């Protein structure tokens, strides 16, 4: 799923060749993201478009040969001048007189030609890893023989027409591994190879024969000197395709500013998107800004205490505990203002509780919608879904970064705010406030269905996280694991990497489990049942799939089991709760089954029910464990967290009965309901819930109230199962982070 949709999609037709373009946003100036070599399309700019479109008008152009553009068969169609005139034709088509051209590699060269030939149309040029025809500098790809049949080609010898025709995928793998040379770049390379497969090797060979606009070094230098608009050159010092010296010379000849990225490879827009986005914005803004707006500055001691709270929107699991934590923070600091940067379905609960959702939240791309788009029938490959959410995560981090650049906060609190946590570690200079991170699982774990390839990917993602924490241990001022040390899976991050539990013990403080609701909501079950309208003669079965829209298939399957279950159980009442993202009307009407939409106090229904059937999400299953209710949980297929992390925690408590969705025919479900109703619930309460050390919080499964132990003494209970671990920092802070890949 993309982070943003185009406002306009169109084509221009030049001499029978259709060129596809898209337009985003209304701002000024206009940013024209030029195509690069036809081996990739305009999706190359996926990390730039959502951010830049919030500030400027943005135009993307697919190169002839790829994307939505035509694939002409003649060499002349791929001459430099054709690509340049495509850009001007697109500007004409959208009624745009001038634009800031941003180009990578060949695209930067075409931007320079456009600035020379059409100086009134190019307002500025951002040249990323620019190439030019001949600057007296070596190019590794041109040192090999493109025409001859290679003998056992290695390295750049694969840059060869015959190799492309017979080993095209192998060439793409080599090429993009070389261009994106930075460690832990599997997703960026995977994307680029996918774009490369959109053009045939025959067409790519034809593009290679396209005519250069100039044919010698002197002409190249004259052209670059003729560029009169402002120029910014950004080049990686470790670029293995276009050496850094090209960028230096390009900047010298155009009189441009030069930014060198130490350790950076060729495709910086993909691998260092936060920095590149900020540099493009600063450059473009300076072209149209004549003066700084008036600003207000408040003396620090006169500032109100402010916290920015980010709660994971993938379901509703974190929202209730986060609201309870916010209430406790305001109790401790009555003058504290808490703003929420959040999205649906979290905003649904926040608004019902009167919390302040920051207006910038409207810019967030929907992570829940992405996850739903990745799901099948009770199937969600969570690891791959998160990997494919990279564009959305980057777009949402840029919203956060803009917000905290403009507004001061004393603390940022992120409850599994994957975007903020990952990109802060990638860009540590952007940390401006104290930062608290919370999670209830640590470590990507491969599913068996993914085989060796997935095991290697998860290990690489974990290795990146371990390396970043080791390098920037104080990025997180406090890292909190919502649970106890034994709740961390006893697995390893990957070959040669630490054991997950041992690493977590070194890098996290453990809060115990936090339910987020007061004990009175579940302690007196008879009172709660009466308040909810459940009669003594009813056996209530609650069926729920939480806050995501992924669980419709499970709801329907359980509903089909109701007749068989009702024949076995007198007075059985089934209540199906769809949550905020599934339309109750989408479920079939069935006598004896009550369907409800969003239920903000679902935990009370879970505490009052006789049995529950739920997905394998941690929050709902732990609420049932805390309320000591029998339940059946059905993890989503291929969901590593539900199948491995959550199941480990539930088995530790001896809680719940795990069922396989594929085996849930009506009779089997009915028999399971009967069996669980007849089972005496005896969840294990013997394991420790707190450890010696700094102030920590813990929750027993039978009582969601937090109990504290400090220096061997019990502290008073706190309401709502709220963590007070951050009240006073220990002498040595621990830092850790749950995993996220780019």
**Which residues, including other chains, have CB under 8 Å from residue 364's CB and lie 6 or more apart?**
313, 341, 342, 343, 395, 396, 399
What's the CA gap between 77 and 639, in Å, rounded? 48
CA-nearest of 631, 636, 632 to 661 is: 636
- What was the pLDDT predicted at 142? 73
**Which residues, including other chains, have CB under 8 Å from residue 694's CB and lie 6 or more apart?**
509, 725, 728, 729, 730
- What was the pLDDT predicted at 313? 87
What's the CA gap between 650 and 483, in Å, rounded? 12
CA-nearest of 633, 650, 580, 575 to 609 is: 575
Structural domains of the chain ordered from first start: 8-138+214-288 (3.40.50.1820), 301-510 (3.40.50), 538-677 (3.40.50.2000)
| β 703-710/697-700 pair status | antiparallel
* Two structure tokens written together for 421: 């946590």
CA-nearest of 33, 23, 741 to 393 is: 741
Q: Which residue has the tokens 């460690």?
A: 183
In degrees, rounded to 5, the angle at the alpha carbon of residue 472 between the alpha carbons of residues 367 and 443 is 50
**pLDDT tens-place string over residues 224-277:** 999 999 999 999 999 999 999 999 999 999 999 999 999 999 999 999 999 999
CA-nearest of 288, 239, 263 to 128 is: 239
- What was the pLDDT predicted at 315? 73
DSSP code string of 119-146: TTTEEEEEEES---S-SS---GGGSS-S
DSSP collapsed to 3 states, 359-382 = HHHHHCCCHHHHHHHHCECCECCH
Per the CB < 8 A criterion, the answer to whether 602 and 621 are in contact is: no
* Two structure tokens written together for 739: 């995993």
- What was the pLDDT predicted at 456? 97
* Neighbouring C-beta atoms of residue 694, cutoff 10 Å: 17
* Two structure tokens written together for 230: 């402002």
CA-nearest of 661, 660, 651, 596 to 625 is: 651
Q: Would you tell me the crossing angle of helices 451-471 and 418-426 to the nearest 10 degrees?
A: 60
**Which residues, including other chains, have CB under 8 Å from residue 561's CB and lie 6 or more apart?**
664, 665, 666, 667, 669, 670, 673
What's the CA gap between 325 and 309, in Å, rounded? 10
Q: Which residue has the tokens 């030939």?
A: 117
- What was the pLDDT predicted at 516? 82
**Which residues, including other chains, have CB under 8 Å from residue 68's CB and lie 6 or more apart?**
9, 11, 20, 41, 62
User: Where is 737: in which H helix or E strand?
Assistant: none
What's the CA gap between 339 and 316, in Å, rounded? 18
**pLDDT tens-place string over residues 696-739:** 333 333 333 332 222 232 333 333 443 333 333 333 333 333 33
- What was the pLDDT predicted at 706? 30
Q: What is the CA radius of gyration of the chain?
A: 29
Q: In b/e form, how buried is each residue of 594-608, taking b as 16+ CB within 10 angstroms?
A: ebeebbeebbbbbbb
pLDDT along the chain (742 residues), means of 10: 96 97 96 96 98 98 97 96 98 98 97 98 98 84 84 93 97 97 97 97 95 92 97 97 95 97 97 98 91 77 94 84 94 96 93 95 95 94 96 98 96 96 97 96 96 96 97 96 96 97 97 85 87 91 89 95 95 94 93 92 92 94 92 97 97 95 96 92 55 32 30 33 34 35 29
What's the CA gap between 319 and 235, in Å, rounded? 42
- What was the pLDDT predicted at 291? 66
DSSP code string of 164-217: HHHHHHHHHHHHHHHHS-SSS-HHHHHHHHHHHTTS-HHHHHHHHTPPPS--SH
What's the CA gap between 388 and 391, in Å, rounded? 7
- What was the pLDDT predicted at 298? 87
What's the CA gap between 457 and 463, in Å, rounded? 10
């Amino acid at each position: 799923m993309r982070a943003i949709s185009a406002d306009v999609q169109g084509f221009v037709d030049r001499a029978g060749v259709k060129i596809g373009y898209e337009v985003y946003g209304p701002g000024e100036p206009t940013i024209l993201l030029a195509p690069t070599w036809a081996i990739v399309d305009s999706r190359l700019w996926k990390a730039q478009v959502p951010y830049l479109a919030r500030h400027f008008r943005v135009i993307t152009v697919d190169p002839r040969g790829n994307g939505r553009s035509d694939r002409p068969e003649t060499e002349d169609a791929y001459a430099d001048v054709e690509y340049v005139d495509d850009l001007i034709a697109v500007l004409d088509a959208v009624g745009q007189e001038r634009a800031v051209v941003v180009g990578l590699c060949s695209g930067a060269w075409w931007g320079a030609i456009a600035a020379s030939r059409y100086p009134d149309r190019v307002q500025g040029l951002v040249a990323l890893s620019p190439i030019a025809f001949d600057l007296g500098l070596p190019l590794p790809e041109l040192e090999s023989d493109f025409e001859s049949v290679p003998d056992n080609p290695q390295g750049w010898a694969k840059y060869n027409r015959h190799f492309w025709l017979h080993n095209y995928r192998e060439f793409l793998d080599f090429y993009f591994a070389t261009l994106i040379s930075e460690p832990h770049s599997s997703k960026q390379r995977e994307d680029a190879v996918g774009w490369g497969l959109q053009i045939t090797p025959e067409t790519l060979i034809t593009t290679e024969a396209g005519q250069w606009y100039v044919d010698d070094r002197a002409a190249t230098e004259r052209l670059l000197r003729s560029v009169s608009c402002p120029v910014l050159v950004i080049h990686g010092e470790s670029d293995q395709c276009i050496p850094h010296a090209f960028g230096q010379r390009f900047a010298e000849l155009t009189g441009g500013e030069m930014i060198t990225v130490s350790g950076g490879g060729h495709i910086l827009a993909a691998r260092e998107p936060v920095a590149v986005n900020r540099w493009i914005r600063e450059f473009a803004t300076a072209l149209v800004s004549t003066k700084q707006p008036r600003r207000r500055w408040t003396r620090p001691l006169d500032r109100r205490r402010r916290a920015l709270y980010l709660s994971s929107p993938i379901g509703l699991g974190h929202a209730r505990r986060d609201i309870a934590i916010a209430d406790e923070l305001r109790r401790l600091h009555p003058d504290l203002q808490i703003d929420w940067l959040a999205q649906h379905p979290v905003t649904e609960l926040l608004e019902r509780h009167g919390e302040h959702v920051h207006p910038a939240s409207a810019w967030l791309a929907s992570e829940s919608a992405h996850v739903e788009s990745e799901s099948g029938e009770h199937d969600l490959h969570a690891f791959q879904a998160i990997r494919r959410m990279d564009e959305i995560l980057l777009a949402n981090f840029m919203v956060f970064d803009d917000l905290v650049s403009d507004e001061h906060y004393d603390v940022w609190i992120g409850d599994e705010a994957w975007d903020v946590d990952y990109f802060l570690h990638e860009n540590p200079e952007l940390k401006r406030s104290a930062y608290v991170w919370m999670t209830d699982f640590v470590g990507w774990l491969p599913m068996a269905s993914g085989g060796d390839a997935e095991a290697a990917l998860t290990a690489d993602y974990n290795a990146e996280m371990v390396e970043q924490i080791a390098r920037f241990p104080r990025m997180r001022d406090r890292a909190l694991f919502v649970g106890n040390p034994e709740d961390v899976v006893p697995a390893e991050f990957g070959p040669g990497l630490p054991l997950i539990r041992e690493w977590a013990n070194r890098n996290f403080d453990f809060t115990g489990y936090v339910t987020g609701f007061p004990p009175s909501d579940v302690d007196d079950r008879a009172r709660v049942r009466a308040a909810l309208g459940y009669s003594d003669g009813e056996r209530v079965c609650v069926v729920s799939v939480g806050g995501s829209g992924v669980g419709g298939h499970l709801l329907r399957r359980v509903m089909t089991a109701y007749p068989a279950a009702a024949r076995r159980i007198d007075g059985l009442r089934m209540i199906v709760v769809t949550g905020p993202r599934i339309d109750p009307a989408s479920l079939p009407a069935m006598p004896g089954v009550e369907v409800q939409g969003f239920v903000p106090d679902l935990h009370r229904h879970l505490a009052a029910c006789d049995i529950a059937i739920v997905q394998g999400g941690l929050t709902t299953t732990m609420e049932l464990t805390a309320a000591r209710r029998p339940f059946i949980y059905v993890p989503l297929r291929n969901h590593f967290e539900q199948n491995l992390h959550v199941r480990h925690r539930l088995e530790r408590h001896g809680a719940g009965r795990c069922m396989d969705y594929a085996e849930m025919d009506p009779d089997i479900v009915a028999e399971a309901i009967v069996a669980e109703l007849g089972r005496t619930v005896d969840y294990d309460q013997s394991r420790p819930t707190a450890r010696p050390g700094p102030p920590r919080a813990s929750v027993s499964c039978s009582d969601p109230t937090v109990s504290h132990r400090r220096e061997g003494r019990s502290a008073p209970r706190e309401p709502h199962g709220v963590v007070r671990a951050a009240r006073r920092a220990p002498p040595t802070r621990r830092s850790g982070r749950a995993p996220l890949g780019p």
